[in-house]
Structure 1
Amino acid sequence: MEAVVSASQGAVHILLGKLGNVLATKYVLLGGVRGEIQELKDELESMTACLRDLVDSDDHNEQTRTWMKQVREVAFDVEDCMDRFCHHLSENHGDRQGLLEYLHRMFNMVRTLGVRHKVATDIQGLKSRAQKVSERRLRYNPGESAGRSTKALDSPSYSHLDSLDR
C-alpha cells in the first residue's frame, strides 16, 4: 500500500513544482488565472500533506484507496494542462530589443489569446474537481475529517425509535 501512496504523492509533488514555475514566470495569464493556479496549488499541497500522513497509517480502506487514485488522476490532468500551456506559450525571444520586442510580445499575446482562455477554463475546472475530490473524502469518510471516531457510524443508535412504540 505504501507504493500506492508514494505514487500518488510523487505525482502531486512533481506537479507542485510545475505550478510554482508557471506562477513565477512571465507568462501572460488572463485576469484571475494566476489566483486560480495558486488556489489549485494550495489544494494539491493539502492533498500531499494528507498523503504523507497516510504513509504512516495502516488503515487504507477502499475509500482511502479510491481517494488516492482520484488525487493522482487530478494531478496528472493538471500536469497535462500545464504542459499544454507551457508548450503553446513558449517563446524564443532571440535578440529582439526595444520596439521590436514590444511588438513581438503584443502580437504573441493576441496570437495566444485562445490558448490562454482555454487554459483558464481548464484550470477552473481542475480546481473545482480537486475541491470535489477533497469534499467527497470528507463526505464519505467523516471519521477522518476531524479525527473523530467512526463508532457512531459503525453502531447506529435506534433509541429515538423507542418513543414511537409507546
Structure 2
Amino acid sequence: MGAEPDYVGLVISRNFERLVRLRRKRQQSMASFIGIIYGLTASFAFALAASFQVAYSINTLFGQLNVPTEYIGDIIHVIPPSGMTFVMYVMLTIMIVHSLLSAVSIKVADGGHVYVAMKYFVILLWIFAAGMYAGQVLMEKMMNLGSGSTQVLAVLFQSL
C-alpha cells in the first residue's frame, strides 16, 4: 500500500523468525516440564512405597514382640492389618489425584485440548505403578523381609 517492498519483507521476515523461535522455545519448555512431572511422580511413588514398607516392617516387628502391655503398652502401637490396608488406599488415592492434577496441568500449560490429558493421566499412573513396585521390592530386599507387604500390595491392586 505504498510502502517499500524491501522494508516490508524484512519486517515480515523478522516477525516470522521471532514467532518460530518462540514456538520452539515453548515446545522445549513443555518437554522439560513433562519430564519434570514424570520424574516427580516416579520419585514420589518410590518414596511413598519405601516409607510404607518401613512402616509395615516396624509394625510386623512390634507385633511379634511378647512384651507385657503394662510396661510399654502406651508407647508401642501395633496397627491392625485393616489399618495398613487403609493406609495403602490413602496412598493410592493421593497418587491418583496427583496424576490427574499433573495431567491437567500439563495440558493447561501446553494449551491443547483437555481430553488429551487422559493420555498423560494413564502414562502417569503407569509411572506411579512402576515406582511403587520398585520401592516396595527394593525396600523389602534391603530389610531382608519375606514377601508379606508385597502380597498386601498385590492383593490391593487385584481388588481394584
> TM-score, normalised on structure 2?
0.35
Max Rg structure: 2
Higher relative contact order (CA 8 A, sep 6+): 2
Q: Which has the higher helix share?
A: 2
> TM-score, normalised on structure 1?
0.34
